[in-house]
Structure 1
Amino acid sequence: MKKLTKIAAFAAALCLGAALLAGCSGSNDAASDNAADGAATNADAPTLIVGLDNAYPPYGFIGDDGNLTGFDIDLASQVAARNNWNLELEAIDWDAKDALLNQGTINCIWNGFTMEGREGKYTFSKPYMHNEQVVVVKKDSGINTLEDLAGKNVMTQVDSAALEVLEDEEGQKALADTFAGGKVQTIGDYNNAFMQLESGAVDAVACDLSIADYQMSAKPDMFMKLEPLSAENYAVGFKKGDTEMADAVSKTLKEMYDDGTIAQLCEKWGEYGITIDNWVLVD
């Protein structure tokens, strides 16, 4: 696995509240400032090492300034700061995430990570965000229902929740069997999948609701989504048995909801399709 990025971001998270009140945009307030300043970490403090896909907007991606940014990165930065943890962000090959977690290269997966169907492989935080698996098509494609996908080229990201749903006998495999080639096609990341859709190389992209909303907000006249394939939730995934850190993340996210920080972050990322209506960690 080629290591793409490693950022120590703990110190920068301390100024996130001020940045939010100043009405900051989707730039990497929590991570890029720290990278620029070269802020030192506390050697005696625990480190939250977040594995993420850096091409997964709006949860984690490379911003226009060349730095990591995203809704989940802002969440992780705040959680680390409030627990006096160091924070490292590791952009990883998504299909290597399990090996990296088991090796200790990362100690959590926090990047729009679906928990349903994976409960036996990870120790999860409490779910924090509702999500759905949906299919996005071009508005002028003539595809209006899932049934219209018969014989069409449908693409999704490798090792994604959408792929799991479309390969699951109890999920939507019967639907995927009707696609061109009798299955869904895969690609390394969703950005390239949507480039394929825009160019006409494929007819549809199966993806998370948040990814669909992000792409549609960027090009509202081009894309539309069909009815959901499935409903699910995002949570932070830790190595099996790491309950202490998972519980601390859950507790801190609840505190952030109670004090209004989550509402501020959802507003910050609203133009990217994030909404407080999908936040579920309220109890």
Structure 2
Amino acid sequence: MKKKLSLIFAFVAAMALSVAALAGCSSNSSEGSGAASGDAAASNELIVGFDQSYPPYGFVGDDGNFTGFDLDLAAEVAERNGWTVKYEPIDWDAKDTLLNSGAITCIWNGFTMEGREDDYTFSDPYMLNGQVIVVKADKGIASLADLAGKNVITQTDSAALDVLEGDRADLAATFANLETIAEYNTAFMQLESGAVDAVACDLSIAQYQMSAKPGAYVMLDETLSSEHYAVGFKKGDTETAEKVSQTLKEMYEDGTVEELCNKYSEYGLSFENWLIK
């Protein structure tokens, strides 16, 4: 009888240890999932994914450090919420994988929200934008119709490409060729060299490039689309998105946004295009 009781006690003890071990594994797994979620509200870290060749929103400054309007906005938002900010230059094609894995908290880099509403949780739209066409000033291209038979280039996976493959596919069909490239700085180098006839890009990019080379380029009056910039978060991260939107509103009210717009005005950025008020 004593032997049977001993066996029973041993079995009960072993089961208790197993339950405790399973509970420990479940707790550790849950913590790991939270850490990988990229949720700034949970981790106290805002990891900003951005294209480092996208002035004036995100780029490498003359001192070799990352700078830009969006990066400055992100730094101020992080400070006001007690978060640590980290800038993560990304391959634009990999942005969704990085966001969904938790490697970055958000995509904050002149990110157009139109057409992407089902794929991300967005902050409130904060900046007016549009897709436009830029050409060399001396090429006699004055309208969208003049692009027939011409070589046009845009950035891979960009809003401009989405428009030209979607609502304005009829226009793109008139081009001799619609090329894509990794980043806009190289696209404008190709425009300057004559390798292409036009660049399809964001309004902000057009304004920056024209301000950098006065008289070299012109922007066609006819736009491809009108849209808005917002900060893109992993689908479901509404808490961080709402905190960012509220903080941007506070920054507008206390004049911080206007100061930052003025800081980058030489790059063609205008305070008149700011939306969160």
Q: TM-score, normalised by structure 1?
A: 0.82
| Amino acid in the other structure paired with 1:154 | V
Secondary structure of the corresponding residue to residue 86 of structure 2 = strand
Which range moves more in the overlay, 152-161 or 218-227? 218-227
Partner residue of 1:221 out of 215, 222, 234: 215
Per the alignment, residue 238 of structure 1 pairs with 233
Amino-acid identity (%): 68
| Amino acid in the other structure paired with 1:156 | T
| Amino acid in the other structure paired with 1:208 | D
Per the alignment, residue 26 of structure 1 pairs with none
State whether structure 2 residue 193 is matched by structure 1 residue 199. yes
Per the alignment, residue 175 of structure 1 pairs with 171
Per the alignment, residue 5 of structure 1 pairs with none
Per the alignment, residue 142 of structure 2 pairs with 144
Secondary structure of the corresponding residue to residue 161 of structure 2 = helix
Instruction: Answer yes or no: is the 8 Å Cα contact 1:45–1:84 preserved in 2.
Output: no
Q: Distance in 1 between matches of 2:249 and 2:152?
A: 38
Q: What pairs with 1:148-163 in structure 2 (closer than 5 Å)?
A: 148-163=146-161
Per the alignment, residue 279 of structure 1 pairs with 274
Partner residue of 2:90 out of 89, 92, 98: 92
Per the alignment, residue 36 of structure 1 pairs with none
Q: Distance in 2 between matches of 1:147 and 1:95?
A: 31
Partner residue of 1:133 out of 117, 131, 154: 131
Q: Distance in 2 between matches of 1:247 and 1:270?
A: 28
State whether structure 2 residue 265 is matched by structure 1 residue 270. yes
Partner residue of 2:121 out of 120, 123, 128: 123
Per the alignment, residue 111 of structure 1 pairs with 109
Q: What pairs with 1:14-25 in structure 2 (closer than 5 Å)?
A: none
Shift of 1:243: 0.2
Shift of 1:45: 5.8
Q: What pairs with 1:178-189 in structure 2 (closer than 5 Å)?
A: 178-181=174-177, 184-189=178-183
Q: Distance in 2 between matches of 1:45 and 1:79?
A: 15
Per the alignment, residue 253 of structure 1 pairs with 248
Pick closer, same or farther for the CA change 1:162–1:121 going to 2, 3 Å: same
Secondary structure of the corresponding residue to residue 87 of structure 1 = strand
Q: TM-score, normalised by structure 2?
A: 0.84
Q: Could you tell me which runs of 5 or more consecutive residues in structure 1 were left unpaired when the two chains were aligned.
A: 1-43
Shift of 1:228: 1.0
| Bigger Cα Rg | 2
Secondary structure of the corresponding residue to residue 66 of structure 1 = coil
| Amino acid in the other structure paired with 2:235 | K
State whether structure 2 residue 81 is matched by structure 1 residue 83. yes
| Amino acid in the other structure paired with 1:239 | K
Hey, which bits of structure 1, 4+ residues long, moved more than 6 A?
none
Q: What pairs with 1:64-75 in structure 2 (closer than 5 Å)?
A: 64-75=62-73
Which is richer in helix?
2
Shift of 1:220: 1.5
Shift of 1:187: 0.3
Q: Distance in 2 between matches of 1:196 and 1:272?
A: 20
Instruction: Answer yes or no: is the 8 Å Cα contact 1:45–1:86 preserved in 2.
Output: no
Q: Could you tell me which runs of 5 or more consecutive residues in structure 2 were left unpaired when the two chains were aligned.
A: 1-41
Secondary structure of the corresponding residue to residue 140 of structure 1 = coil
Q: Distance in 2 between matches of 1:100 and 1:166?
A: 26
